[in-house]
Amino acid sequence: MRIPDLFQQRPFCLSIEIFPPKTTAGDEALFETLRRAAAWQPGFVSCTYGAGGSTRSRTVDLCEAIQQRFGLTATAHFTCVGSTREELLSWLNEARARGIHNIMALRGDPPAGQTEFVQVEGGFRHARELVELIRDSFPEFGMGVAGYPEKHPQAPDMATDLRHLKEKVDAGGHAVFTQLFYVNDHFLRFRDDCETLGITCPIVPGIMPITEFARIKRITSLCGTEFPAPLAARLEAAQDDPAAQFEIGVEFAIAQCQQLIDSGVPGIHFYVLNRMDACDRILQSLTWPGRK
């Protein structure tokens, strides 16, 4: 089912994001994660796409497995990094031929070792161009685009970032899925600003449960995400106790997600890092529209 249809038919659309493992053991662990995820009947499972297209074929392989092996709708991440227009069209043709009907259209991060995005000759520089290509050449695809409640790290200011988001939506994006955040007020302000600009598609908060404080500190420092000082203090006090960190993270995520649900979000997009332990605990504790 396409992304816009999912949000039209469901009062609340849960989605889960995974990434391609690098080993056979990682694949088996991921399949167990997908088995557990299927019990929650997510609207879709998305699979990321490595920097510079490094997991391009693996993304399609896993999306095919998500649909055929687990009966779930897959969404393939797709970037314009390091690819010409013709190469992008070839990948999209393959995805369609293998039964994929949803794309998360992203500009993408520079390949390892590079700090700046470099447009290849015959390629694209902006996600909006990728959205336009998909809209014009594959209008049957559902499309998600990225939003940044605390601004993209490379954007000069929030107003510019919001303008770029509106361009992506106007070009054909069906729903916005946000970068992770830990302060709900940032998301709620972002949602209000989007509405003021005339962005009317679903705006879905992206949530990464905290299971390991050191990892989250690295991630938030890279993407410029504010981390609440009281939460950081609790996690610092438990830095030598992984089980305690996990419990603190789950407790925080339950409260964060329930507040977002109560504020009327159309769904939640969980970055599960290929493990369902925290997500299972969180979902067991939440109440959302349509939950049986």
* Res 83: pLDDT: 78
Rounded to whole angstroms, the Cα distance separating 171 from 122 reads: 20
Residue 6, phi then psi, degrees to nearest 5: -60, -45
> Which tens digit of pLDDT belongs to each residue from 10-30?
999 999 999 999 888 999 999
Rounded to whole angstroms, the Cα distance separating 117 from 120 reads: 10
* Res 272: pLDDT: 97
Please identify which residue in the block is written with the tokens 């409260």: 255
Number of H helices, E strands in the chain: 11, 8
* Res 111: pLDDT: 56
* Res 192: pLDDT: 98
Rounded to whole angstroms, the Cα distance separating 46 from 44 reads: 6
* Res 116: pLDDT: 62
Q: Which domains does the chain have, with CATH numbers?
A: 3-284 (3.20.20.220)
> For residue 256, which of 227, 221, 276, 291 has the smallest C-alpha distance?
227
* Res 234: pLDDT: 97
- Return the active site residues: 17
Q: Could you tell me what percent of the chain has a pLDDT over 90?
A: 82
pLDDT tens per residue across all 292 residues of the chain: 999 999 999 999 999 999 999 888 999 999 999 999 999 999 999 999 765 555 668 899 999 999 999 999 999 999 887 678 898 999 999 999 999 999 999 976 655 555 565 556 766 778 999 999 999 999 999 999 999 999 998 899 999 999 999 999 999 999 999 999 999 999 999 999 999 999 999 999 999 999 999 999 999 998 899 999 999 999 999 999 999 999 999 999 999 999 999 999 999 999 999 999 999 999 999 999 999 7
What is the per-residue DSSP string for 37-92? HHTT--SEEEE---GGGTTHHHHHHHHHHHHHHH---EEEEEE-TT-BHHHHHHHH
* Res 65: pLDDT: 95
* Res 22: pLDDT: 87
* Res 5: pLDDT: 98
* Res 120: pLDDT: 63
